[in-house]
Amino acid sequence: MVYDKIDETLIPIQKWVSEHDTLPKIDTLVLKHFINVCNGNIQEIQKLIELHYSIRNSYSNLFIERDPTSKESQNSLRASDVIYLPKLTSDNSIIQISRISDPDPDKYNHPETVKTVAMVYDMLFRTIPETQIIDSVISIFDSANISLRHVSKISISALRGFMKFYEKGTAYKIAQIHVINCPSYINKIMAVLRPFMADHINKMINFHQPNSQTLFKYISKDLLPIEFGGTGESLELLRIKQRENLIKHRDYLIDLNYWKHKDKIVPKIEKDFQNLNLD
C-alpha cells in the first residue's frame, strides 16, 4: 500500500538532502519513492538514502561509471534484457523481467549486465508519470537460456554489489520473485547464488517449470508479454522502446552530480587553463 502522506514528508527530506555533506542531487520523484518505502519514517528514510548512495559509490564501476552508448553497454543490451512492464498491478507493483536473450555464453558479460540493470532502474524514475508511485517490484527471471557456462562467468564482486543494491538499497519494496523456465540444473545455479542472498529473499523465490501455467496464479495474463503467455505488449517492442529511452536519458545517467558523493567529484578545470604553459 502506498504511503498517503508523501508530500508532507517531502519538504523536510529535500532540506536534509540539500544540506547533506556528501549526498548528490536527487530527483523529487526518487525521493518520494524512498519516503514510500519507509512509510514516512524520517530516520529510516535518511538511513536508506545514505545506504543507497553508499552502495553506489562503493561499487562505482557498476552503478556510476556507465554509458548506454558505449560498445560494452550495447553488447550487453543485445545479449540480455532487463525490462519493466508498462502496466502496474492493482496494488501498485511494477513487473521487472530479466533474461538472457542470446544463449551464447561468450557474449555474456556479467558486470556489464549489472550496469544495465542499474541504468534501467535509474531510468525508470524519469519515464513514469510524476504523480505515479511504485510501491513494490515483482521480479521475473527467465532462465530459459542460461547455462552453467554463463554461471561460470559471474563476477563475485559484481554479484555482491548487485545483491546489496537489490536487497537493501532500492526505492521500492520487493513483493515477489519468480524464476521461470527452470532448467534441470537450476539447483546448481542456485547453489552459486544463494550464499549472496539474504534469507528473506531466498524464501521469496518461486520456481516455475517450462511450459507450466503456475506463474498465472500470481500474475494476471493481461499484465504479461505474449512471450510469457500473456496478452500484453511483446518483449521485442518493449525492448526497442527501452533502448530508445536509455539513449534519450544518457545525459542523466552519466551525470556524476546525480550519483557520486559530491565531496568526491573533482571539479572540471577549464581547458584553456589545462593547456597553459607555465614554463
**Domain limits, the chain:** 6-263
Distance separating alpha carbons of residues 93 and 176, to the nearest angstrom: 9
The string of pLDDT tens digits covering residues 13-36 is: 999 999 999 999 999 999 999 999
In terms of Cβ atoms closer than 10 Å to its own Cβ (0-12, 13-18, 19+), residue 246 is buried
Q: Please check whether residue 175 is in contact with residue 138, taking contact to mean a CB–CB distance below 8 angstroms.
A: yes
Sign of the dihedral through C-alpha 211, 215, 216, 217: positive
The string of pLDDT tens digits covering residues 73-117 is: 999 999 999 999 999 999 999 999 999 999 999 999 999 999 999
Distances in whole angstroms, Cα of residue 225 to Cα of each of 78, 83, 97, 131: 19, 11, 10, 25
DSSP track, 121-149 = HHHHHHHS-TT----EEEEEEE-TT--HH
* 1 confidence band (pLDDT: 50, 70, 90): confident
Provide the strand spans (E) within the chain. 80-84, 93-100, 136-142, 173-180, 205-207
Cα Rg, the chain, nearest whole Å: 20
Q: Which three cell numbers stand for residue 236?
A: 521485442
State pTM to two decimals. Answer: 0.92
Distance separating alpha carbons of residues 89 and 95, to the nearest angstrom: 8
CATH for the 6-263 domain, from 3.20.20.70, 3.40.50.1460, 3.40.525.10, 3.20.20.220: 3.40.525.10
The DSSP letter of residue 225 is B
* 268 confidence band (pLDDT: 50, 70, 90): low
Confidence (pLDDT) at 279: 47
The string of pLDDT tens digits covering residues 171-217 is: 999 999 999 999 999 999 999 999 999 999 999 999 999 999 999 99
